[in-house]
Amino acid sequence: MEEAAQADDVDLGFVEESDSYLLTNTYFPSKVGGRPAWLDLENLPDPEELRCASCNEPCIFLCQMYASLDDPDTFHRSIYVFMCKKPACCQVNRSDNFVVFRSQLPRKNRFYSFEPPQEDEAKAETAHFCPLCIVCGCKGPFQCPKCKSTFYCGPEHQRLDWKSGHRDKCGMGKASPLFPEYEIVLEAEKSSRTQEVSDDEEQENRQLAEYQKLVDAGKVGEFKDVPEAELLKFTQEEDETFSNFQKIVAREPEQILRYCRKGQPLLISSTNIPQPDTIPKCPMCGDERVFEFQIMPQLLNYLREDGLALDWGTLVIYTCVNSCEVDNQYVREYIHKQDIVTTNQ
């Protein structure tokens, strides 16, 4: 079977556990879960815009991608994906419960420094080695018995913290609707072309010779004289799109994201393919939207969601080809959800 043509420079995203401080907006992260690290800090989207189209409840942050382009206007550029995870809103092949926003800033802006941020390793190391008391910052060998995630140096500070607000916040972690937080690390996908044998004819001759050897050894199967049609009646139809998807994913099975601006998405099913006429044009500048990146179903393994309604085949995100901007607002972009057809044909 021929391999589907893919743009060669696809970047693959993987999740990695990371220190929380590195996932704040100073470091322009690409991340999954937790709280969004906003880029433009002033003109944030209104809560009304972040509501699920089906149930009108607030959406939860799923992931964000820091994807800058060459223009000076888009020196900083982030794309945010929000979703509503209620089972009733997660419909097959419909993306109503998703919201995507894009934000961008030039290098010189009033929120961030002109120079790249320096990672303060020293600060990280000390906090890592042993837990610190949340009140005074000293060594905290005691922990809150209820939530087990807050540490104290002694009963005095524990009482103090409890009175001044921990009582209300305690245990919030478990009831938090947010997804677990990870960093997205990008790597270039190894091009498959380099692995293919270049000389087709020579390879074919080798294969024919190998086949002949098998025939002579009597290893071509006991049904070598049975017509092919009879055997075919016992076989299932192969889902070629899905097989191709699996073949490409198999090179790096843990990938959760594929980035290839203006490339082609890797489809998981032959139904519900995003057609150029179904992708709406950019509301700001009226130009078309192009494929930017897609989220893979492997991400669901890391979200630790117990509910079974949360499922997708692949989430394909399309953004304005000009990456246009109006008044430093967060611009809505289009997302297409493709599900794996689960009914038996």
Partner 1 sequence: MADAPSGGGRGGFGSRGSGRGGRGGRGRGRGRGRGRGKEDQKEWVPVTKLGRLVRDGKIRTLEEIYLYSLPIKEFEIIDFFLGPSLRDEVLKIMPVQKQTRAGQRTRFKAFVAIGDHNGHIGLGVKCSKEVATAIRGAIILAKLSVVPVRRGYWGNKIGKPHTVPCKVTGKCGSVSVRLIPAPRGTGIVSAPVPKKLLMMAGIEDCYTSARGSTGTLGNFAKATYAAIAKTYAYLTPDLWKEMQLGKTPYQEYANFLAETNKGISGRQIEV
Positions 116 through 135 that interact with partner 1 (CB under 8 A): 116-117, 119, 121
DSSP class per residue in 123-191: HHHHHHHS-B-TTT-SB--EE-TTTS--EESSHHHHHHHIIIIIHHHTTHHHH--SPPPEEEEEEEPPP
Query: Is 138 a binder of partner 1 (CB under 8 A)?
Result: no
Which stretch of DSSP H or E encloses residue 12?
A: strand 11-16
Please choose, from the candidates 158, 123, 153, 121, the residue with its C-alpha nearest in 3D space to the C-alpha of residue 137: 153
Residues 266-295 that bind partner 1 (CB under 8 A): 268
Task: Tell me the window of 128-136, 159-167, 276-284, 337-345 that interacts with partner 1 (CB under 8 A).
Answer: 337-345
Residues 172-201 that bind partner 1 (CB under 8 A): 175, 177, 183-188
Read off φ and ψ for residue 9, nearest 5 degrees.
Answer: -100, 70
Task: Give the integer Cα–Cα distance in Å for 107 and 76.
Answer: 7
Selected from 49, 156, 204, 287, the binder of partner 1 by CB under 8 A is: 204
Task: Tell me the window of 45-53, 113-121, 125-133, 157-165 that interacts with partner 1 (CB under 8 A).
Answer: 113-121
Task: Tell me the window of 137-145, 221-229, 270-278, 324-332 that interacts with partner 1 (CB under 8 A).
Answer: 221-229
Task: Tell me the window of 15-23, 91-99, 274-282, 326-334 that interacts with partner 1 (CB under 8 A).
Answer: 15-23
Residues 299-328 that bind partner 1 (CB under 8 A): 300-301, 305-309, 311
Cβ-based nearer residue to partner 1, 157 or 336: 336
- Determine the distance from the C-alpha atom of residue 316 to the mean position of all C-alpha atoms in its chain, rounded to a whole number: 10
Residues 86-105 that bind partner 1 (CB under 8 A): 86-88
Q: How far is the CB of 309 from partner 1 (least distance, A)?
A: 7
Query: Is 254 a binder of partner 1 (CB under 8 A)?
Result: yes
Q: How far is the CB of 328 from partner 1 (least distance, A)?
A: 17
DSSP class per residue in 328-340: TPPEEEEEEEEPP
Selected from 231, 278, 280, 328, the binder of partner 1 by CB under 8 A is: 231
Selected from 220, 278, 281, 283, the binder of partner 1 by CB under 8 A is: 220
Which stretch of DSSP H or E encloses residue 207?
A: helix 200-217
Given the structure tokens 């270049």, which residue do they identify? 198
Query: Is 41 a binder of partner 1 (CB under 8 A)?
Result: no
Task: Give the integer Cα–Cα distance in Å for 234 and 341.
Answer: 22
| Contact status, residue 183 vs residue 30, Cβ threshold 8 Å | yes
Task: Give the integer Cα–Cα distance in Å for 109 and 131.
Answer: 36
Q: How far is the CB of 282 from partner 1 (least distance, A)?
A: 17
Selected from 33, 34, 140, 263, the binder of partner 1 by CB under 8 A is: 263
- Determine the size of the site formed for partner 1 (CB under 8 A): 92
Q: How is residue 52 written in tokens?
A: 């699920």
Query: Is 136 a binder of partner 1 (CB under 8 A)?
Result: no
